[in-house]
Amino acid sequence: MPLFIAGIAFPYPEHQAFLRNEILPHLNRTRRWVGAVAGMRKQRLLGEAACLLAPSKAPETSSLVAMEALAAGTPVIAYRQGELPDIVEHGRTGFIVDDVDEMAAAIGRVGRILPEECRRAARERFPLRKATDAYLQRYAELAVRVSSIAGLAGGAVVTVIPPGRIEAMRGEWEQLWADTPRATPFAAPAWRLPWARHYAPGRCWAAALTIDGVLAAWLPVFCWQRAMLLAGTGPSDHGTALFRPGAERYAGALIDAALGALASSIERIEFYQLDPASPPLAAEPPHGWTAGLDTDETCPALNLPAAGGMGLCHSAAARTGATRCDGSTVKAASWSLCPGERSTRP
């Protein structure tokens, strides 16, 4: 049976190496890589296929191509990963398998799957109207959330900044960082923007608070493995949000806004490496969520005052195991939330 592989090999070194070493050497007349396909070419490829193979090893949050194959009347054989078992009705619209041998065996059984059953499942479970209504409902929920937050006292407005607009906020972000007491270099756009481009490209959002048109607080977040984390998590010290003096009381509103934007993609919120005085630590959890506080490992970041009011920063080698002047160890804090039956917020 001929095999057609469709898709893009992105220009990342790891992807290109996989293409060279694992794909190209195995191609021949019956095993072909056809690159990216779209439109009528994609419809024809799916419609004429005996089956679609979805050997994904990643926990897929969805699979558009599997839905498209079913709409074309083509059975889907997929690994038991992420949402694929919910999309494919085993034995009715395709097969869910656990390894290569099971996938090969399932190919020989695709003749038992009726194309009309696949099309029926696509029409009933994944109709365009259902998706459109879900998007409109989500937009309405976000609009209500933002408009309710916009009524905060003192001319305060909270908005959600999508990934495509983060870079455009650099100037205001830079000024807020410069005006924020206790702000570390790791909260500056000069650090977090390159971090976002490398570690979470296109996946960083931010909740922004403006008071009378001036940026007063900034909470950059990203989604990883169904969790909402602070942008910069990992290779950072005290990677907290930024708050002008007096804006700390809006920490809960910022978290609400960020949660509203990412709610469909996350199951928990985990903020690590927080300064013990970080405003999110004092915020009440969103309605329906429960919070837990913990102490992280010793933080190697110290703010040392110097002549002229300029702050000094020790090298990493000199900071390990540092203690405060009173002898207490400098600790970072973590704040985690998950949906629960109780909430401290009414």
Question: Do 321 and 192 fall into the same domain?
Answer: yes
Tokens of 242: 């930024």
Domain assignment of residue 16, yes or no: no
Closest C-alpha among 201, 276, 208, 268 to residue 237? 276
Residues 94 and 162 in one domain: no
Together in a domain, 243 and 263: yes
Q: Are residues 238 and 301 in the same domain?
A: yes
Return the residue matching tokens 């290779």: 235
Residue 159's alpha-carbon distances to 25, 34, 48, 182, 200, in angstroms, are: 50, 43, 47, 24, 21
pLDDT at 186: 84
**Are 122 and 190 contained in the same domain?**
no
Could you tell me if 30 and 2 are in contact, meaning their C-beta atoms sit under 8 angstroms apart?
Answer: yes
225 lies in some domain: yes
Residues 327 and 298 in one domain: yes
Contact 46, 74 (CB under 8 A): yes
- Identify the three-state secondary structure at position 321: coil
CATH number, position 264: 3.40.630.30
pLDDT, position 226: 86
pTM above 0.75, yes or no: no
- Same domain for 212 and 120: no
Q: Give the CATH number of the domain where residue 81 resides.
A: 3.40.50.2000
Residues 58 and 175 in one domain: no
Residue ranges making up the domain that contains 57: 37-126
pLDDT at 107: 96
| pLDDT value at residue 330 | 38
Please give the average pLDDT of every successive group of 10 residues along the chain, which has 346 residues.
Answer: 92 92 94 92 94 90 92 96 94 96 96 96 90 77 52 75 90 94 85 89 91 92 88 71 90 87 82 79 77 64 46 32 33 54 33
DSSP 43-55: HHHHHH-S-EEE-
> Would you call 309 helix, strand, or coil by DSSP?
helix
Our count of domains for the chain comes to: 2
CA distance 220 to 306: 30
Residue type (1 letter), 42:
K
In a domain, 345, yes or no: no
Q: Would you state the pLDDT for residue 289?
A: 77
Residue 15 near residue 23, CB atoms below 8 Å: no
For residues 90 and 231, give the distance between their C-alpha atoms in angstroms, rounded to a whole number. Answer: 39
